[in-house]
Amino acid sequence: MRLALALLLTVLAGPAVAQLRGVEVRVPRTFGYFLGDLVEATVAVEAEPGFALQASSLPQAGPVTYWLDLRRVETRQEGTRHILHLTYQTFYAAIDARSLEVPGFPLVLTRGADHGSTTAPVEVPGWSLGLSPLREVQPARRADPADYLRPDGLGPRLDPIPARNAALGLGVAGLLALVLLARDRAWWPFRPRPARAFADAARRLAALARGPESEAGYREGLLALHRGLDAKAGHRLLADDLDDFLARHPAFRAQREGLARFFAASRIAFFGGSVAEARDRLPLAEAGATARALAAAERAA
Amino acid sequence: MSSLSSAWSRSRPHLLLALPGLLLAGALVAGGLSWRAQATNRDIAALEANHDRPVTTEAPAQLILARVLQLARRDATEAMEPLVAALESRDAPALLARARYALGNARLRRALDLIERGQLDPAGPLIVLARQEYRRALQARPAFWDAKFNLDVASRLIRDFPELDRQIGDELKAEPKKIWTDIPGQPRGAP
């Protein structure tokens, strides 16, 4: 304790209490307390080894006398020292400074053994507490007796600022995350990007698949995927280059079969002159699925 | 290490998809909380300006306290009691202390008014109740100096007589507490 000063040191002696070496009550100060003040007291009991405080003998929190409450009792043990931290609260409305007696209390120490236990009673001594008046004995005269009282005062308001700052911070972070997502998916304004070439192709194919079926539309869809592959490869990619391309971009290997069918259909459509046959082999929706899978692999790469 | 990085690259698109939604939802929730706090503050300001508006026991603790303080200005102690009891269950010792203190003040003001008019018998229990409220306020918040001051004022109106209680026994305990008929702060005789 900060200002610990030994207040009382009672050494109990004699054969009846041989297990007990001493009881000590310490308080930071014994004077200058106003009503409502908390009073911290520490009781240290020095006992023979093996003894422990009996929990049921500890003082209970609650009123001690009409002017004193015991608010809290905490115990701890340091070797053979048993220490109690007691927090009192005084409600004595003093008119002059005076000392009042804080009553002592009994404690019981026990030592457990196989054939029953040894108990040792301890008497914690009372101590005196110096209480001070808060006001003068005769205050100045007031016309209205209610003027002697302190005013009711005002309560606090809620503080909306932390929640507002959190909302602003999360909002800004959310917009940033949205920008990141747009970049990842090659949405506006991040559209024309070779790193997201398949995203563009997949979008174009999805748009064409929604529209009416036509030869021109089918060709345009195939061309969109071609352009995506060209952009990804960095040069015009033909069917024979596919293995080379997949070796350099292993992320798209899973789509090897789809891509091979796409090149085959493309050859029939553009060089075989039969769009209908090409569409039989590879419907536009399937080309779109391949493009979507490529776009997803591209994002994960 | 490589499996970690591949797991990261596989899950990154999903994370990027989820992140804006989560963050923007959080922003909405926080904005709602802030807006609600401001609405409560407007209600508190209205109560402080003495506009009458009822407050339920479910309201935020600060709003309940503002209503208690408004009722205290009108010395409406009966209406204050359920609200003070509602504050008891909230974890807000400072607000509870202020509410109990205001309730004690309202009771003490009424008692002082009765004493002014010479009605000492009904004033006694009011002072005892006011002292209980101050004591509870100090139990909730020991460093509440206004409550210490007013408890001191109330205690000089009616003092405890523990020695009588202890020595003479039960019959005297039931007797009404002695009341000082003068203004507070002018004690006659030592307790």
The pLDDT tens digits of the residues spanning B65-124 come to 999 999 998 888 888 989 989 998 888 899 999 999 999 999 999 998 888 888 888 888
CB contact under 8 A, B184 and A148: yes
Most confidently modeled range among A113-122, A162-171, A226-235, A246-255: A162-171
Terminal Cα-to-Cα distance of chain A (whole angstroms): 64
Chain A residues whose CB is inside 8 A of the B144 CB are: 36
Chain B residues whose CB is inside 8 A of the A38 CB are: 142
- Determine the number of helices (DSSP H) and then strands (DSSP E) in chain B: 8, 0
Class for the domain spanning A5-134: mainly beta
Residue B142 C-alpha, separation from nearest chain A C-alpha, in angstroms: 6
Q: What is the ipTM of this complex?
A: 0.72
Q: What percent of chain B has pLDDT over 90?
A: 43
Chain B residues whose CB is inside 8 A of the A300 CB are: 9-10, 12-13
User: What does the alpha-carbon distance between residue B104 and residue B108 come to, in Å, rounded to a whole number?
Assistant: 6
Task: Count how many Cα atoms sit within 13 Å of the Cα of residue A82 in the half-sphere of its side chain.
Answer: 23
Per-residue pLDDT band at A1 (split at 50, 70, 90):
very low
**Assigned token pair, B3:** 């499996």
Which chain B residue lies closest to A168 (C-alpha atoms)?
B27
Helix axes B120-140, B93-116, angle to 10 degrees: 160
Best B138, B163, B182 member to test A by mutation, with max A CBs in 10 Å, is B138
CB contact under 8 A, B9 and A177: no
Lowest mean pLDDT among A105-114, A120-129, A247-256: A105-114
Asked if the model's pLDDT at residue A39 lies above 70, the reply is yes
Triad A72, A77, A81: Cα angle to 5°: 110
Give how far the C-alpha of residue B189 lies from the chain's centroid of Cα atoms, to the nearest Å: 34
pLDDT score, position B187: 54
Residues with Cβ within 8 Å of A284's Cβ and at least 6 positions away in sequence, in order, are A205, A208, A209, A213, A217, A218, A221
H or E, element range at B14: helix B2-48
CB contact under 8 A, A149 and B10: no
pLDDT score, position B21: 92
CB A254 within 8 A of CB A297: yes
Pairing of strands A81-90, A5-10: unpaired
CB contact under 8 A, B155 and A134: no
Chain A residues whose CB is inside 8 A of the B48 CB are: 154
pTM, full prediction = 0.69
Which of B28, B98, B149 is facing A155, going by the closest CB pair? Answer: B98
CB A75 within 8 A of CB A54: no
Chain B residues whose CB is inside 8 A of the A67 CB are: 160, 162
| C-alpha pair distances (Å), A298 with each of A65, A92, A103, A220, B12 | 80, 79, 81, 22, 12
Mark out the alpha helices in A39-118 (DSSP H runs).
Answer: none
CB contact under 8 A, B23 and A134: no
- The 3-class SS string of B50-96 reads CCCCCCCCCCCHHHHHHHHHHHHHCCCHHHHHHHHHHHHCCCCHHHH
Pairing of strands A62-65, A38-47: unpaired
Best A66, A148, A165, A168 member to test B by mutation, with max B CBs in 10 Å, is A148
Which chain B residue lies closest to A178 (C-alpha atoms)?
B20
Residue B165 C-alpha, separation from nearest chain A C-alpha, in angstroms: 11
Mean confidence (pLDDT) of chain A: 85
For residues A55 and B168, the model is more confident at A55
Which residue in A186, A270, A177, A267 sits closest to A228, CA to CA? A186
SS3 A111: strand
CB contact under 8 A, B109 and A151: no
